[in-house]
C-alpha cells in the first residue's frame, strides 16, 4: 500500500511555552514586569499539540516555571497520550522552589526525552536574584531548595552572570539595556509546504504566538502574529509572512 505523505507539516525545533506568569521573587531587573497569578490552561496545551506536528525540544518559560509543575505534568500527559517523541527539554529557574512532586515530574520528563544531553535546567545566578532572595523571610528555605535542585543530573547552576559586562534587556522592570524592536523568527519552508521553525516558537499563557521570547508581558501584543486557536493554515501563512518581511 502506498502511504500518502502528510503535507504542510509544522515542525518546531524549540517550542517555548510560557507556562506561568507567577513568580515568588521580585528581581529588580525582571524583563517580564510584575508577576501575575496566571498559568497556561489545558485548552492551550492541547491546542499546541493539535497545531504543531513535531517538536524537538520544549522550553518551559515564566514567570517561575517550577511554580507551575501541574502544567508540566499536563504536558507530559499529552505527550504520552499522543505518543509524541520529544528530544529534550529546557528551562531557566530561580531554583528556590523544590519538593518531591517537582523532583518526580522533572525525572519523568527526563526519562521520556530521547537525548539526555538536551535536558537542561539552569538556575539563574546573578546579583539581582541573590538580592531578591535575601529580601524574603523564608530565604533559608529558598537556599536549601536551591542546593537540593542542584544535585539533579540535568540541573546546572549558571556561572555567575555579571550584568555589567552582559547585555541587559530594557524590558519590564529593567530601566537600562537593549530594546528588542523586531521579530526574531527563522524558518525553512519546503516544496511540500512543510515549515520548520528554528528558533523559539513562543506560545504565551493565552495561546498567542509571539515572535520574541524575551519581552515584557505588556509588550507581547506588539509581537503577536497569530493565535494557537487559529487554523493551522493561517498560523503557517502568518509565520511565513513574518519571516519574509522582518528584514533579518
Ligand X SMILES: C[S@@+](CC[C@H](N)C(=O)[O-])C[C@H]1O[C@@H](n2cnc3c(N)ncnc32)[C@H](O)[C@@H]1O
Burial (Cβ within 10 Å: 0-12, 13-18, ≥19) of residue 38: middle
The DSSP 8-state label assigned to residue 12 in this structure reads E
Distance (Å, whole) CA 118 – CA 87 = 7
User: For residues 6-25, which are near ligand X according to CB under 6 A?
Assistant: 23
Cβ neighbours of 80 (radius 10 Å): 11
Does residue 168 bind ligand X (CB under 6 A)? yes
Q: Write the interaction track for ligand X spanning residues 48-87; mark x where CB under 6 A is met and - where it is not.
A: --------------x-x-----------------------
In whole angstroms, how close is the CB of 18 to ligand SF4 at the nearest point? 11
40: which 3 cell numbers?
Answer: 497556561
Q: Is 204 in the site for ligand X (CB under 6 A)?
A: no
**Nearer to ligand X (CB atom), residue 201 or residue 243:** 201
Between strands 88-93 and 195-203, the pairing is unpaired
Q: Quick one: what does residue 26 bind among ligand X, ligand SF4, none, with the CB cut-off 5 to 8 Å set by partner type? A: ligand SF4
**What region does 177 belong to: left with phi over 0, alpha with psi -120 to 50, or beta?**
left
As measured in angstroms, the least distance from the Cβ of 95 to ligand SF4 is: 9
Contact map string, positions 69 to 98, toward ligand SF4, x by CB under 6 A: -------------------------x----
93 binds, among ligand X, ligand SF4, none (CB under 5 to 8 A by kind): ligand X
For ligand X, give the closer residue by CB, 149 or 226: 149
Tell me, by CB under 6 A, how many residues bind ligand SF4. Answer: 10
Phi, psi of 243 (to 5 degrees): -65, -40
Q: Which stretch binds ligand SF4 (CB under 6 A): 25-33, 38-46, 74-82, 163-171?
A: 25-33
Among 184, 197, 193, 188, which Cα is nearest to 57's? 197
How many angstroms separate the CA atoms of 175 and 104, rounded? 38
- CB count within 10 Å of CB 183 equals 18
What's the rounded Cα separation, in Å, for the pair 157 and 159?
A: 6
CA distances from 185 to 105, 137, 145 (A): 31, 42, 36
CB of 23 to ligand X, least distance (A): 6
Query: Does residue number 57 form part of the binding site for ligand SF4 (CB under 6 A)?
Result: no
List interacting residues with ligand X (CB under 6 A).
23, 29-32, 62, 64, 92-94, 124, 126, 168-169, 171, 174, 177
List interacting residues with ligand SF4 (CB under 6 A).
23, 25-27, 30, 32, 62-64, 94
Amino acid at each position: 500500500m502506498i502511504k500518502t505523505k502528510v503535507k504542510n507539516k509544522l515542525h518546531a525545533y524549540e517550542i517555548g511555552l510560557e507556562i506561568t506568569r507567577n513568580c515568588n521573587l521580585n528581581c529588580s531587573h525582571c524583563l517580564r514586569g510584575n508577576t501575575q497569578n496566571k498559568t497556561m490552561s489545558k485548552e492551550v496545551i492541547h491546542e499546541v499539540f493539535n497545531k504543531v506536528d513535531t517538536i524537538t525540544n520544549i522550553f518551559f518559560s515564566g514567570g517561575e516555571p517550577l511554580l507551575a509543575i501541574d502544567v508540566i505534568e499536563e504536558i507530559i500527559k499529552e505527550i504520552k497520550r499522543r505518543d509524541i517523541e520529544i528530544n529534550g527539554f529546557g528551562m531557566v529557574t530561580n531554583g528556590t522552589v523544590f519538593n518531591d512532586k517537582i523532583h518526580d515530574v522533572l525525572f519523568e520528563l527526563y526519562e521520556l526525552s530521547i537525548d539526555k544531553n538536551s535536558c537542561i535546567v539552569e538556575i539563574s545566578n546573578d546579583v539581582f536574584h541573590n538580592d531578591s532572595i535575601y529580601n524574603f523571610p523564608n530565604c533559608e528555605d529558598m537556599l536549601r531548595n536551591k542546593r537540593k535542585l542542584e544535585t539533579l543530573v540535568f540541573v546546572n547552576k549558571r556561572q555567575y552572570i555579571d550584568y555589567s559586562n552582559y547585555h541587559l534587556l530594557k524590558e519590564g522592570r529593567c530601566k537600562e539595556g537593549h530594546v528588542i524592536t523586531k521579530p526574531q523568527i527563522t524558518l525553512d519552508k519546503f516544496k511540500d509546504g512543510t515549515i520548520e521553525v528554528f528558533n523559539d516558537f513562543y506560545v504565551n499563557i493565552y495561546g498567542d504566538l509571539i515572535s520574541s521570547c524575551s519581552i515584557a508581558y505588556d509588550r507581547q501584543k506588539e509581537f503577536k502574529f497569530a493565535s494557537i486557536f487559529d487554523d493551522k493554515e493561517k498560523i503557517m501563512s502568518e509565520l511565513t509572512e513574518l519571516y519574509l518581511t522582518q528584514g533579518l
